Structure 1
Amino acid sequence: MSNQPVNHSTPVLYSNDVETIPSDEAETIRQLEEQFRSILETTSQDYDHAVRAVHAKAHGIARGTLTIAEGLPAALAQGMFAKPGSHEAILRISTNPGDILDDSIALPRGLALKILDVQGERLPGSEGDTTQDFIMVNGPVFAAPEPKAFLKNLTLLSKTTDRAEGAKKALSGVLRAFDAVLSSVGVESATIRQLGGAPQVHPLGQTYYSQTPFRYGNNIAKFALFPVSEGLTSLTDTTIDASGKPDAIREAVREDLIEQGGTWELRVQLATDLDAMPIEDASKEWDQKASPFVTVATLVVEPQLSWEHGVTEHTDDALSYSVWHGIAEHRPLGGVNRVRKDTYKFSANFRGSFNGCPMHEPGRLAELA
């Protein structure tokens, strides 16, 4: 367990009124679904197979065990972390566009984590399941503060889906250089990285953040997954040369997970001040000095094959991830999370219908191919 100190500031208590819901949010959701549909219809026609509207390209899928820490203080022993124990888990490493792109186009890394056999009152639409999903990206903030800005970003992605890959490669090189200049003076731009200017980092060495807030039992928190085993932390500053190798990331992840597997810590950052740590602005980073991330569980992935051509694709098709797959004590909060509910469900249902493989949540890992 991490030796980081537990934040002694008083955590903000969760209540139903911590969210502010605009009167026109339903219309924003409708327009987001239109953009999701546009992306899905374009890519499914091109590939003769439906892929995700966002984070379409998987670089690896791995099975592991999440062990909840013993002796957590009361503020952290909440929700699924209230009792120590172990759970089967499956993680998916990806990049964010809705089309399958050459890995030389530099994009943020994503990691979706599904925890199995989680008991408790379920979120709406998740009744009857026993999974808890966490969707994370290797940056602490979301590229849009709220749903309408998210819609603008998704509209741009929709218009460029599966078009002019050569131009995307050239733009990616320019944006990476621009991002490097900004980073040298301590500035990061989630928008530049989303458009192709992200550093070409090895995904196994990255820290992944939920970016958006969640109910944490009686409290409110963000989540993050930190690499801690030596094999993973040695990859933190490693970049991947994808020149002439369209699936270079998948190959690198495959090689390293076969050789060493990995260990991560799942940590939470409790909200202590809603003015400084807003619910409705997903682009605002919460101050880690005011409230540090503290470990609540450890994820261990034993050495394994993370991608087998002709096999892993079927596993990927059978899985869907959503922040709304979970228990009520970890309810997603804020506008970006609210609009994910119906749009992610729409994407999963589209894939299931087009591919003739309806989505269902696994009860145990043995159910997956």
Structure 2
Amino acid sequence: MPPSIVLAETFDTLGMDLSAEEIGAIQQSMEYGRQISQWAEKQNGAPFRRDAHAKATGCVRATFSINGDIPSHFQNSVFSQPGKQYQAWIRFSNGDMLVQPDAKPDARGMAIKLLNVEGGQIAPELTGAKTQDFIMTNTPAFFNRNIFDYVADMKYLAEQKRLAWFVSLWPPRLHPRRLYIAAQTVGSKINTPLEPQYYSMLPYQLGTTAIKFSARPCPGMRFKDYANKSDHDFLTEAMAEHLSAESACFDFMLQEKKPGTHMPLDDATVVWSEKESPFMPVARIHIPPQTFTSEPQQSFCENLSMNPWHAVGEWQPLGSLSKARRLVYHAVSQFRHQQNGVASTEPENWCLDESPDCNQYIDIHQVTNTPHLSRCFDSLNTPVDGSAALGCVQ
């Protein structure tokens, strides 16, 4: 059993408006996160990994291009310049704290890091190069409503009592929606990380608009059914096989909160209705053919930090869970990097290190056997107005 938690008498809230109860819950969550990392390290072996989404199925280079027809009320933060293109890193992952075979049902994650973004950083404690992170999973809702649900669940996980956690959601405690979402989340099976649609789950403020975001594979994307799903790392192998000769593409979309609808800002178990507010494409993610399985790149991927508070300009994570993430993610990341004896840095380009003679394009493939009719997402030079390239196959 983990040692009892002693809460600090003073606690830096980083200027956030938090109640005493929220502060206590966040402090407990930070300590539970460290305990989970310590326990998981004994099961997984070195290095110390994240307390969730511990296993990366790959970190890939990508571009993130803002559509030319993005509505004016969305033109804030990294979306302020229609047609602008960013380099990005994308980390695909399995949700569990343990490194498990990819065939085992689990939540799946997609975290995007935009590089060299412009604007004031919203979280000054996150130092280094300016980046913007978009963190998503392949389910549209979270099984925690708020910070108090979150800390209660973290306690079960820190004590390695998963079954007790599931039982805690059954009647008479009456959490059927949370139970359903939890079962849906951890029961996911996929064929490749490039296949699912991913969701932010939590809301954000973009300018004056509350939004959620999502990344959906572009129309026309097709994937082979990878044969050997018994391989421990078959999701990595399936994505590597696809990207050895073909590109991949996602539409990045925003969903805005509409007045008069049930779209709460502090209940992450509620799915915002797409009928009342459809997702609107605002950017295109292009993943060129590449190699990403080298040991240096896997090490880079392990050391990469993803945090929803890596952001600039008129952008703000909303709700008590997001406030908790600001403090918990940073604390657990610092703990993980300290235990591994590595510095936490923010990348500025596609290089794996800061060497001045780095060739950031060395692992990008130039594919010559392109189909007669190119698909809309096969070129980096897609029209900035979001329209389809002439003659491409949707």
State whether TM-score is above 0.5: yes
**What secondary structure does 2:337 align onto?**
helix
Aligned residue pairs total: 322
Question: How far is 1:361 from its partner?
Answer: 0.9
**Do structure 1's residue 41 and structure 2's residue 34 form an aligned pair?**
no
Rg larger in 1 or in 2? 2
1:138 maps to which residue?
Answer: 138
Question: How far is 1:129 from its partner?
Answer: 3.3
Measured in 2, the distance between the counterparts of 1:240 and 1:223 equals: 32
Question: How far is 1:150 from its partner?
Answer: 1.6
Question: How far is 1:22 from its partner?
Answer: 4.6
Query: Structure 1 residue aligned with 2:202, among 194, 212, 220?
Result: 212
Unaligned 5+ runs, structure 2: 1-15, 164-177, 355-394
8 A Cα contact 1:200 1:240, kept in partner: no
Question: How far is 1:109 from its partner?
Answer: 0.8
2:167 maps to which residue?
Answer: none
1:190 maps to which residue?
Answer: 181
Question: How far is 1:274 from its partner?
Answer: 7.0
Map 1:346-365 to 2 at 5 A: 346-365=331-350
8 A Cα contact 2:128 2:345, kept in partner: no
Q: Which one scores higher on RCO, CA 8 angstroms, separation ≥ 6?
A: 1
The one-letter amino acid of 2:229's match is A
1:94 maps to which residue?
Answer: 93
Question: How far is 1:313 from its partner?
Answer: 2.2
2:248 maps to which residue?
Answer: 262
**What secondary structure does 1:94 align onto?**
strand
Query: Structure 2 residue aligned with 1:25, among 22, 25, 35?
Result: 22
Q: CA RMSD in A?
A: 2.5
1:222 maps to which residue?
Answer: 212
Question: How far is 1:281 from its partner?
Answer: 0.5
Cα distance change of structure 1 residues 239 and 148 upon mapping to structure 2, 3 Å threshold? farther
Identity of matched residues, %: 27
**What secondary structure does 1:136 align onto?**
strand
1:324 maps to which residue?
Answer: 309
8 A Cα contact 2:297 2:352, kept in partner: no
2:263 maps to which residue?
Answer: 277
Measured in 1, the distance between the counterparts of 2:353 and 2:287 equals: 17
Q: Which has the higher helix share?
A: 1
8 A Cα contact 1:259 1:303, kept in partner: yes
**What secondary structure does 1:118 align onto?**
coil
Unaligned 5+ runs, structure 1: 1-18, 168-186
With normalisation by structure 2, the TM-score equals 0.76
Bigger drift between 262-271 and 46-55 goes to 46-55
1:58 maps to which residue?
Answer: 56
Measured in 1, the distance between the counterparts of 2:143 and 2:260 equals: 20
Measured in 2, the distance between the counterparts of 1:134 and 1:103 equals: 23
**Do structure 1's residue 294 and structure 2's residue 280 form an aligned pair?**
yes
Measured in 1, the distance between the counterparts of 2:78 and 2:217 equals: 21
8 A Cα contact 1:214 1:221, kept in partner: yes
8 A Cα contact 1:126 1:326, kept in partner: no
